[in-house]
Amino acid sequence: MTHSKSEDLFRRALQIVPGGVNSPVRAFRSVGGTPPFIARGQGSHLFDVDGNEYIDYVGSWGPLLLGHRHPAILSALEHALTIGTSFGAPTEAEVELAAAICDAVPSIEMVRLVNSGTEATMSAIRVARGFTGRDLIVKFEGCYHGHVDSLLVKAGSGVATLGIADTRGVPKAFCDSTLALPYNSPDAMQEAFRAHGQRIAAVIVEPVVGNMGCVPPRPGYLEALREITARHGALLIFDEVMTGFRVAFGGAQQRFGIRPDLTTLGKVIGGGLPVGAYGGRKDIMSLVAPAGPVYQAGTLSGNPLAVAAGLAMLRYLKAHPEVYAQLESCTAELCSAAPPGITVNRVGSMFTFFFTDQPVTDYESAKRSDTARFGRFFQAMLERGVYLAPSQFEAAFVSAAHTEEDIRQTIAAARQAFSA
């Protein structure tokens, strides 16, 4: 493969864009090399500006559950363009998308659309503090909830990848009300509530972690979170920005049978366009302005183009539940190809190959992975036309567009890459 056009573009970008990218993980810092600049996507494949073709296991970091340029999404967007791009006023489609979300996720009785997962989590913790009158928020080491000041504490994703323990620019005071605990540790949770129970406004958790790499909840863990938060009058916030409509139509809360008080969504519900959402119990969400005193707003919230794509995505998934069984079996087959010495974590169509032979159940164990070996594996796969998530601390994704041939080619490339 040649990458000269990407290299030229990256040199230009590096002069005028921080790190040459609009989101850190895209810079390939932890895996080395020049990130391919993408010319177009189609189905399960990406094509870069040098004409190289890849089987895509990033899918824009989760939104493209149906792959690139799905006809249902494209035709919805083409229609939306005939009526305009943005009004800053309510539209019928926003009511339809809110209804589709509430219909799919029973714990969401009322929902507010925003423009990103970060806005969703920032708003959810604000309304949780407003509802409980308490300040303390509990999160988990290695979990990432967007670049919210107070949640960039021992965060995962790009922060984990870049090894930024606690990012610069966030005043210490902003983090004083954030308690970061180890994931999958009921004892740590018990201890935190014993010490601070009456001050805790909410626990925010990725019910299946994607941002330290894929890490499933231990059996009983989510139930323990649900029980202890309810017992102390704290809210349970499921950050389903990644898992929502991904690990099941009703998200991780459907898959694991837990009813959180609030849920945040993003990625899939935008069908590839910028949409986030937060919602949950009506008595909590009724506090959000203008219905109540917790302020949150957004110029482009509920944007007609983004809502059209998201609504088309959700309607397609509701009409085609077989997609989830297909995603399950396709991803299971792919993950079965991992050699001994590699720990594979998978939930539904999100997965991670950890370069460690030990189980990965939390951030400490994830960090024991050999990130240098992962980087070499990543590059070997990229050169063989397989585009994995460019970080050991990220989940990769299979879409409904991936074919048997894609999986066969990927397994063959992995066999060569592992032996290399």
Residue numbers annotated as active site: 144, 239, 267
Per-residue tokens: 165: 């323990």
Among 157, 161, 178, 352, the residue binding ligand KE4 under the rule CB under 6 A is: 157
Q: Give the nearest distance from C-beta 356 to ligand KE4 in angstroms.
A: 20
Does position 242 interact with ligand KE4 (CB under 6 A)? The reply is yes
Query: Quick one: which H or E segment has residue 38?
Result: strand 38-42
Parallel/antiparallel/unpaired status of strands 45-48 and 53-56: antiparallel
Of the listed pieces 1-9, 97-105, 114-122, 355-363, which binds ligand KE4 according to CB under 6 A? 114-122
CA angle 185, 186, 190 (to 5 degrees): 125
CA distances (Å), origin 214, targets 78, 190, 249, 344, 406: 35, 24, 19, 9, 21
Query: Is 369 an interacting residue with respect to ligand KE4 (CB under 6 A)?
Result: no
Q: Are strands 200-205 and 110-114 parallel, antiparallel or unpaired?
A: unpaired
- Of residues 28, 54, 144, 378, which one binds ligand KE4 by CB under 6 A? 144
Compute the residue count for the chain.
Answer: 420
Is 301 among the residues that bind ligand KE4 (CB under 6 A)?
Answer: no
Asked whether position 349 contacts ligand KE4 by CB under 6 A, the answer is no
Residue 186 burial (C-beta neighbours within 10 Å; 0-12, 13-18, 19+): middle
- What is the β-pairing status of strands 200-205 and 235-239? parallel
Q: Which of 36, 146, 216, 251 binds ligand KE4 (CB under 6 A)?
A: 146
Round to whole Å and give the CA distance between 215 and 206: 9
Region 25-64 residues binding ligand KE4, contact defined as CB under 6 A: 25, 61
Contact status, residue 321 vs residue 333, Cβ threshold 8 Å: no
Dihedral sign from CA coordinates of 157, 159, 160, 166: negative
Is 141 among the residues that bind ligand KE4 (CB under 6 A)? no
Determine, following the binding rule CB under 6 A, whether residue 116 of this chain makes contact with ligand KE4: yes
Separation between Cα atoms, residue 342 and residue 357, nearest integer Å:
5
Report in angstroms how near the CB of residue 259 gets to ligand KE4 at its nearest. 19
From residue 12 to residue 31, the character string flagging contacts with ligand KE4 as x (rule: CB under 6 A) and all else as - is: -----------x-x------
Amino acid at 170: V
Does 394 sit near ligand KE4 (CB under 6 A)? yes
- Answer for which of 126, 145, 367, 402 binds ligand KE4 (CB under 6 A) is 145
Applying CB under 6 A, does 266 fall inside the site for ligand KE4?
yes
Task: Report how far apart, in Å, the C-alpha atoms of 114 and of each of 7, 157, 259, 273, 297 are.
Answer: 35, 21, 22, 12, 8
Q: How far is the CB of 287 from ligand KE4 (least distance, A)?
A: 22
Which of 241, 247, 386, 396 is the binder for ligand KE4 (CB under 6 A)? 241
Q: Indicate whether 118 belongs to the interface with ligand KE4 (CB under 6 A).
A: yes
Q: Which residues bind ligand KE4 (CB under 6 A)?
A: 23, 25, 61, 116-118, 121, 144-146, 157-158, 206, 210-211, 239, 241-242, 266, 276, 394
